[in-house]
Chains A and B, each alone.
Chain A
Amino acid sequence: MLDRRAVLGAAAAGVLAPPAWAQKPGTTARMRTINAMMTDEPAHLNYPLFNTRIMQEICGNINESLLLFDWQFKPKPNLARGYEMAPDGMRYTIHLRPDVVWHDGAPFTARDVAFSCGVMLPQLNPRSRGAFSHLREIKVVDRYTLHFEMNEPFNAFILSLMASSAPMMPAHIYEGTNFRTNPYNFKPVGTGPFKFNRWSRGQYIHLTRNERYWRPGQPGMDGIYYRLCPTPEQRLVAMESGAVDLAMADDIDTVVNSRMVANPDIVARSDAFNGTGEIAVMEMNHRRWPFSDRRFRAAYMHAINREFLVKAINFGLGKVAHSPIPSDLPYYDDKVLTKYHYDPARARALLDEMGLKPGKGGVRHRFSIMMIPDGGGYWTRAAHYIKQAMSEVGLDVALESTDWPTFSRRSGNWEFDVDCNSYGQYGDPAIGTARFFLSSNIRKGVPQTNIQGYNNPEVDALFAKAAVAVDHAEAQRHYSRLQQILTHDVAMLWMYERKPMFFYNKRLKNVIMGPNGPADGFGSVTLA
């Protein structure tokens, strides 16, 4: 029987005590847990089916890939303890570790690899489909050895076995089932340092340590909580109060970057997503005039002050992009690029040349830009800035607000003039870049493909040749020519290279171990 006065007294004490969030986690159990956040709940946890950043962060702990990559993009053993490539590049022999078990106890064998690479990944994931399209067949030699027989040598093949592009999935759970409706999409099974424990809808996803993890000494922590934190302000407070240990990429609005960087308890890393090599872009629907005219696209680029976009709108995070390939990745060739510096006069001249003269009210042409639904964050700000910049050269832009389902539908079905987007390189142009310029990847109804409708046979041929080039020098030649053509054609409107920040609480260490950052999982994380 509760004494009323006691209850009220306790409640009052609770109210008057210092705000709870100012207290750091106390007990040992809580200290040995990584507290992370998710901006919204993923629809499911089937990694290949939907490869967003939050999936990468969560599932990166559960499902592993055959190889890992170091800061120079050289492969390191993971589930594959080694591999050999035949001199002609037509066969890869993969040797698997013999001591790996799935979270449910079943052994990890070559059958799982053959199933994942041969069946599940190509079926569910467009990026994998592109990468594995060069595979002729997968031969299981013995329990822990496979031959990957190629149709032609594909020099980015090893890179395509990177974490987010090729996570290994359990054959004994998925083979023969409907991948989209398999109940294990909500309780995933993998080989990684953490295994799925609980999904409390609307609140959190909890992973616990995999006691039978094959890497000695890992994982360093006992579990990970991914707590739902829908707004950027909430996430800011969570980081500052210590309730949460990690904030990545777009979690914290760039506006308050200075606050985060100045915080003595927080470590800020800007290199955690180098492996993704993301570029913020705008795409034009080449099926509609005047977007089909190269001069219009060039004028568009000249009208935008991308230095200002990075410095002021994005508070200094990022670097102006001049090429479809990010500047710190292999194959970037600065010498061949056509660069479009901020030059509104030149923009106006090009538009005049096209016949788009200023009409009533000084307006030459009206079109719309479909914005990324980010609830008023920096994508929205960038779009507003661009609208402003366009009005300076006589182009009247109507901004369209959408939500994710509408955005996906309209971009996939080519129902837009111009849209905003951002694409990752994932280590090799054959994986990340080609998909937007190959005429073979023009597929109606599928977003994240060549939705612009860009069609250039020379580009198609060059991408094909570069993918199967025998050595790096030959590939470089092709990629250089590609960059030359694509930048001259203004095949896409590259805005800036994204350098998203990764923040973590200094009570942890070994958080970022490679260019894939959190996508490689948090097995190595320990207390500082």
Chain B
Amino acid sequence: MGFTRRFLCRPTAMFGLAVFLFIVAIALGAPLLFSRGPFSIVGMPLLPPGASGLLAGSDVLGRDMAVGLAYGARISLLVGIASTVCAAGIGVLMGAVAGYYGGWVDDLLMRVTEFFQIIPSFVLLMVLVAFLQPSLASTVIGITLVTWPQVARVVRGEFLSLRAREFVQAARVLGMGDAAIIATQILPNALPPIVVISSMIVGNAILTESALSFLGLGDPNLLSWGSMIGGSRSAMWVAWWTTVLPGACIMITVLALNFIGDGLNDALNPRARR
């Protein structure tokens, strides 16, 4: 298929995919690689990388940084993917309905998306998470809530242009119901931009989750890269690795996802790129 070849041609996309798969492998394999969980205290706190056989040193509690980084990948990926799936789900639903039916439904959706663009969304997110009590669920719910409008807008745009096309008229003439038309006719054609924007959202969701955890609004029972950085605020002054390493992990993961997103964008819209 032309798409695969176009994607594989770009070195950055390939690099991104390789790195991402590596991170997924680490995340999935963490329980197998390390016999004890990330909360196990293995020694004195703030040991530098390489000391006592610790690849990445120990954190402010004396826990193995390497194990923490591996388990942190699980949280980041979980939240990133879960919130993207939910946001995409809601966004597609809303956008499809608005784009297909138009009229007041469409107006309502537009007002709602404008609302979300105007209010400070990170502040709204903080409020939501703080009031729902910080936890993994509240993080996913919060990120979903502030992200779905983006997807909805894109989907709405696609549906608006696609609904007037001939194959849709044909389906209607054949007696297909609205729901069937939306699901089986229009949606598959609207898929490319949805896929592209979803891949971008995953990266953003990971950044947002780490920001919330950094501020102390993440799940206190889980170790995520953001919470590792947040816990190192004072320790940074005497132990740079507690801050540098988790952040580098976030950056590499999001970079890989962005490369993949770019690659998908190019592969799916060959005309758009120069």
Residues of chain A at the chain B interface (Cβ within 8 Å): 231-233, 236, 253, 255-256, 258-259, 308, 312-313, 315, 371, 375-377, 380-381, 384-385, 387-388, 391, 398-401, 403
A470 CB to closest chain B CB (Å) equals 50
On whether the beta carbons of A256 and B220 are closer than 8 Å, the reply is: no
Contact indicator per residue, chain B 33-44, by CB within 8 Å of chain A (1) or not (0): 000000111001
Q: Considering the chains assembled together, what is the distance between the CA atoms of A376 and B234 in angstroms?
A: 10
Query: Given the complex, which residues of B lie within 8 Å of A400, measured CB to CB?
Result: 133, 220
State whether A381 and B60 are in contact (beta carbons under 8 Å apart), knowing that A256-B237, A387-B39, A401-B216 are contacts in the complex: yes
Closest residue on chain A to residue B233 by CB atoms: A233
Query: Given the complex, which residues of A lie within 8 Å of B44, measured CB to CB?
Result: 312
- Chain B residues 23 to 47 lying within 8 A of chain A, measured CB to CB, are 39-41, 44-46
B71 CB to closest chain A CB (Å) equals 13
Query: Given the complex, which residues of A lie within 8 Å of B134, measured CB to CB?
Result: 401
Query: Given the complex, which residues of B lie within 8 Å of A385, measured CB to CB?
Result: 41, 61
On whether the beta carbons of A256 and B221 are closer than 8 Å, the reply is: no
B216, B230, B238: the one contacting A256 at CB < 8 Å is: B238
| B16 on the A face (CB < 8 A) | no
Q: Considering the chains assembled together, what is the distance between the CA atoms of A259 and B230 in angstroms?
A: 20
Supply 8 A–B pairs (Cβ within 8 Å), ascending by A: A233-B234, A259-B238, A313-B62, A375-B216, A376-B231, A381-B60, A384-B61, A387-B39
Contact indicator per residue, chain B 128-149, by CB within 8 Å of chain A (1) or not (0): 0010011000000000000000
On whether the beta carbons of A381 and B61 are closer than 8 Å, the reply is: yes
A-B contact count (CB 8 A): 67
B241 CB to closest chain A CB (Å) equals 14
Query: Given the complex, which residues of B lie within 8 Å of A315, measured CB to CB?
Result: 45
On whether the beta carbons of A388 and B40 are closer than 8 Å, the reply is: yes
Query: Given the complex, which residues of A lie within 8 Å of B130, measured CB to CB?
Result: 403
B60, B133, B230: the one contacting A255 at CB < 8 Å is: B60
Give chain B's interface residue range (CB within 8 Å of chain A).
20 to 34
On whether the beta carbons of A253 and B234 are closer than 8 Å, the reply is: yes
Q: Considering the chains assembled together, what is the distance between the CA atoms of A387 and B38 in angstroms?
A: 12
B72 CB to closest chain A CB (Å) equals 15
On whether the beta carbons of B220 and A401 are closer than 8 Å, the reply is: yes
On whether the beta carbons of A371 and B220 are closer than 8 Å, the reply is: yes
| B176 on the A face (CB < 8 A) | no
Q: Considering the chains assembled together, what is the distance between the CA atoms of A485 and B62 in angstroms?
A: 36
Closest residue on chain A to residue B61 by CB atoms: A381
A231, A258, A398, A399: the one contacting B233 at CB < 8 Å is: A231
A291 CB to closest chain B CB (Å) equals 20
| B93 on the A face (CB < 8 A) | no
Closest residue on chain B to residue A383 by CB atoms: B220
A231, A259, A313, A381: the one contacting B237 at CB < 8 Å is: A259
Closest residue on chain B to residue A398 by CB atoms: B221
On whether the beta carbons of A232 and B221 are closer than 8 Å, the reply is: no
B39, B45, B230, B233: the one contacting A388 at CB < 8 Å is: B39
Query: Given the complex, which residues of B lie within 8 Å of A233, measured CB to CB?
Result: 233-234, 236-237
- Chain B residues 218 to 234 lying within 8 A of chain A, measured CB to CB, are 220-221, 230-231, 233-234
Q: Considering the chains assembled together, what is the distance between the CA atoms of A512 and B241 in angstroms?
A: 37
